[in-house]
Amino acid sequence: MKKSIWLLIIVLTFSLALPAQRIDVYKRPLKYERSHDYDAKHYRIKLSFDLDKKVFNGENRITLSPLKDGFNECRLDAEEIVVTSVLDNYDGPLEFKQTGKFLIISFSKTYNCSDIVIFTVKYHAHDPEHGLFFDDERFTNPQMVSTVSWPEYAHHWFPCYDFPNDKVTGELIVTVNNKNKVLSNGKLVSVSENKEKGTKTYHWSQELPHPTYLFMLAIGPFEVIEDSLGSLPVNYWVYKKDVEDAKWIFKNTPKMIDFFSRLFGYKYPWAKYDQVTTPRQGGGAEATSATVLGEQVIHERRAEQDFSWEKTIAHETAHQWWGDLITLRTWAHTWLNESFGTYSDYLYTRHLRGEAEGAVDLLRKKNQYLREAHNKYMRPIVFKRYDRPQDNFDSHTYPKGAVVLHMLRFIMGDKPFFRTLSYFLHKHEFKVVDTHDLKIAVKEATGQNLDWFFEQYVFKPGHPVFTISYTWIEKTGKLRLKVIQAQDTSQGTPIYRMPVIIAVTTAKNKFSKKVWIEQTQEVFEFSVKEKPLLVRFDEGNYLLKEWEFEKCLDELLFQLKNDDVIGRMWAASELIKYREKPEAVKGLKESAVKDKFWAVRKSAVETLGKINSIEHTGLFQDICRDNNSKVRTAALKALGDYENPGLVVFFRKQFKEDNSYLAQAEALRSIGKCGDRSQLSFLQEAAGMTSPRDVIKRAAAWAREKIKSGAV
């Protein structure tokens, strides 16, 4: 499940002092793994729908095995469905009682542990609020039905044991008007037509076990775009109007499946892979062998530069292993789904677009977590306190966990890390797991005991905050590097033990050395015979950290030109401290125009924008022709912050000519900062432009309000 993939702003520096938590997550109730006295084996669900009336009739033929002797009563989760009868395996009636949340069935005989019990629940429902949704035809979507079973909403459309610590096989046999198609989990067994009634019945079979939150159903007049990876069917179910765009948006899906199969050392496990668009998803929701995606995934080619769903598609594909093949035992261990999914979309980004794009994506994930840590709360990644499972699906679970996995890979080494993932998947395939299972897998696959790592980064809150400094003594040829861990440990954040790579560059050579940090304060000494041009802490950018590392102007300028992408971005942001120095401004200007990577150019533009010198107007106007929309957008923002009415004509021109929706939106906001009431009609006209997520409409509205408020 991916709900926060659209964050585009990269925060480059952070305050070292964390404010008091705005949300006290430790006041949330403790939650434990749910107990159950039976093991559900198979659900055979029959459903018939009337989309106009928003009703469905259903039955679930349940096969289960008791986990205790003397089993004579079964409790199922069931909400918003009205049970009409329960029948035993011989169609004899069984007594039952339905409460607000449960269906309680009394059997006519007593069963013992490991017996097989089969019975059928018949029911109906009308337009439920959760789990299954009827959508009327609109200009954006046809009349249709779709499900969102995550996290515990499957029982709103079929009675079941609805918690992730039990897995079942399943069948869905669904009858609909013959103008519609039906998608569900597993393989399509048959499609039969009743011409007299004008209906079709689709029979889907999921033959390998999975939890109820991964059950899915989609009904509608879909167009099915057929694709494949060898003999594996890979299909895309979309609205008729979206077919041409869907072809290029989804075309890399087979490559993703192949990439993850090889990377994880486990061949794609399911009968097929489908993706379907619905109006009920903001991002994506994995389901076994089928991912449900928000209809916003479909966009024109122009929007791809700013609103690509490539990471979301990769993330949800990776869930076919992480979450579907192996499934978390309780919602406290959500990171086993989402951190692995988020790290996987980084791995695919790096594979497809190169080391630099991957590094920037990983930095974005780090900063997303750090924003939550600063502004909301810090908690352990594995966390048993929540009101609803959704509470744990946050920036600790998604990006922080992904970065922690990257650190684990750094410590273990590439081959042992990926060997462990393969071992873990094979050992626990089609089962439920928790973090302790992963710890054991590390030991069994590699012989390494990394319990200390999990204790620090997974079971405790926070992250290291470093204060770093160094001195070079020319007389002795020694460089002394001091590292202080400055994080607040009063709320459970530890003093960390971790390796870090220190790199030193001089005019003649460069060396890198891995050292271990274990104490609050450490001093490392290196032999450096000539003055260092650059001392780099955490070369490779492996650590989740905040840090303060004061450097002289010359070193920052050298780093701005010679370091990796993350180092160059950091140097650009640090040069704000030398804003009065002509050399700093000159270096930033050169970087803003000449750096080969867009994120460094953007960082330099942002720093120059903070200097807010009108002398940079021409430079920023030139940068508005940069080939990357994010750089152009940063330049437009910097120009807008001048609040110069003389730039209105330029902003209007950029709005009309730029092919980026985000840059156009920034041009409108800039007009709001410096325009007068004569611009209101232009802004009103711009607001009528269609754009992804209504970015143009929202920017125009903001600009109009800004002008009307008299703030300019």
Q: Are the C-beta atoms of 45 and 171 separated by less than 8 Å? A: yes
pLDDT at 20 over 70: no
Average pLDDT over residues 26-39: 98
Percent of the chain exceeding pLDDT 90 equals: 96
| 223, 239 contact by CB (below 8 A) | yes
- pLDDT tens digits for 276-300? 999 999 899 999 999 999 999 999 9
Q: Tens of pLDDT along 404-426?
A: 999 999 999 999 999 999 999 99
Rounded CA-CA distance 229/324 in Å is: 19
Taking alpha carbons only, the member of 304, 235, 310 closest to residue 276 is: 235
Question: How far is it, in rounded angstroms, from Cα 410 to Cα 418?
Answer: 11
Both structure tokens of 495: 């003093």
**How many Cα atoms are found within 13 Å in the side-chain-facing hemisphere of 556?**
24
Token reading at 432: 């439920």
pLDDT, tens digit, 9 for 90 and up, residues 330-358: 999 999 999 999 999 999 999 999 999 99
CA distances from 39 to 166, 285, 332 (A): 7, 26, 21
Any residues with CB less than 8 A from the CB of 289 and at least 6 apart, and which? Answer: 185, 186, 206, 270, 271, 272, 273, 274, 320, 324
User: How open is the CA angle 301-234-232, to the nearest 5 degrees?
Assistant: 145
Measuring CA to CA, which residue among 361, 444, 448 is closest to residue 413?
Answer: 448
Question: b or e along 536-569 (b: 16 or more beta carbons within 10 Å of the residue's beta carbon)?
Answer: bbbbbbbbbbbbbbebeeebbbbbbeebbbbbbb
> How confident is residue 620, by pLDDT bands cut at 50, 70 and 90?
very high
Whether pLDDT at 209 is above 80 = yes
Separation CA 38–CA 205 (nearest Å): 23
> How far is residue 108's CA from residue 1's CA, in Å, rounded to a whole number?
42
Residue 17 has pLDDT above 70, yes or no: no
**In the chain, pLDDT over 70 holds for what percent of residues?**
97
- Separation between Cα atoms, residue 577 and residue 588, nearest integer Å: 12
- Write out the DSSP string of 75-94: EEE--S-EEEEEEETTS-B-
What type of residue is 509? N
Instruction: Report the pLDDT averaged over residues 577-594.
Output: 98
Q: How far is CA 706 from CA 493, 643, 646, 655, 687, in A?
A: 43, 12, 17, 18, 15
pLDDT in tens, 79-99: 999 999 999 999 999 999 999
Taking the C-alpha atoms of residue 50 and residue 582, their distance in angstroms, rounded to an integer, is 72
Q: What is the pLDDT of residue 9?
A: 30
What pLDDT, on a 0 to 100 scale, did the predictor assign at position 597? 98
The domains located in the chain, with CATH, are 1-33+238-462 (1.10.390.10), 39-221 (2.60.40.1730), 612-712 (1.25.10)
DSSP assigned state of 398 = I
- State the DSSP string of 269-337: -SS-EEEEEETT-SSEEEETTEEEEEGGG---GGGHHHH--HHHHHHHHHTTTBTTTEEESSGGGTHHH
Place of tokens 């001048």: 642
Structure tokens at 298: 């479909």
Helix extents (H) in 354-432 = 355-375, 401-412, 414-427
Is 675 a residue whose pLDDT tops 90? yes
Mean pLDDT of the chain: 96
3-state DSSP assignment of residue 634: helix
For the chain, the straight-line distance linking the first and the last C-alpha, in angstroms and rounded, comes to: 43
Print burial letters for 460-497: b (CB count within 10 Å at least 16), e (below 16): bbbbbbbbbebebeeeeeebebebbbbbeeeeebbebe
* pLDDT tens digit sequence for 472-499: 999 999 999 999 999 999 999 999 999 9
Quickly state the pLDDT bin for 2 (edges 50, 70, 90). low
Predicted local confidence at residue 22, as pLDDT:
82
**Distance of CA 539 to CAs 307, 331, 444, 591, Å?**
31, 35, 30, 21
Reference 571, options 586, 560, 585; nearest CA is: 560
Whether the Cβ atoms of residue 585 and residue 615 lie closer than 8 Å to each other: no
Give the model's confidence band at 16: pLDDT under 50 very low, under 70 low, under 90 confident, else very high.
very low
What pLDDT, on the 0 to 100 scale, is given for residue 8? 30
pLDDT tops 50 at residue 622: yes
Is the bond preceding 151 in cis, omega lying within 30 degrees of 0?
A: yes
Length of the chain: 712
Supply the pLDDT for residue 11. Answer: 32
| DSSP helix/strand/coil, 353 | helix
Residues in CB range of 5: below 8 A, 6 or more apart = 283, 309, 311, 312, 315, 345
pLDDT at site 114? 87
* Partner residues linked to 59 by β-bridges: 46, 122
Closest to 168 measured CA to CA, from 257, 76, 98:
76
Q: For the segment 520-534, what is each residue's pLDDT rounded down to a tens digit? A: 999 999 999 999 999
* Whole-Å CA distances, 34 to 165, 175, 615, 620: 8, 34, 65, 58
Residue 6 has pLDDT above 90, yes or no: no
d(CA 637, CA 97): 63
Backbone phi, psi, residue 531, to 5°: -60, 130
pLDDT tens figures, 654-674: 999 999 999 999 999 999 999
Instruction: Please calculate the CA angle 56-61-66 and round it to the nearest 5 degrees.
Output: 135
Average pLDDT over residues 28-39: 98
Query: Given pLDDT bands bounded at 50, 70 and 90, which one contains residue 710?
Result: confident
> Which one, of 207, 160, 170, lies nearest residue 36 by Cα?
160
Which two tokens mark 438? 């992963």
pLDDT digits (tens, 9 = 90+) for 50-80: 999 999 999 999 999 999 999 999 999 999 9
- For residue 712, pLDDT beyond 80: no
In one-letter notation, the amino acid at residue 260 is F
What are the tens digits of pLDDT across the range 450-468?
Answer: 999 999 999 999 999 999 9
Residue burial 681-692, b: 16+ Cβ < 10 Å; e: rest: ebbeebbebebb
pLDDT greater than 50 at residue 5: no
Question: Given a cut of 90, is residue 18 above it in pLDDT?
Answer: no
Q: Which residues contact 216 (CB under 8 A, 6 or more apart)?
A: 147, 149, 183, 184, 185, 287, 288, 290, 292
The gap from C-alpha 328 to its chain's centroid, in whole angstroms, comes to 17
Residue 244's contacts (CB-CB under 8 Å, 6 or more residues apart) are none
Q: 82-88 and 117-126: which strand pairing?
A: antiparallel
Check pLDDT > 70 for residue 14: no
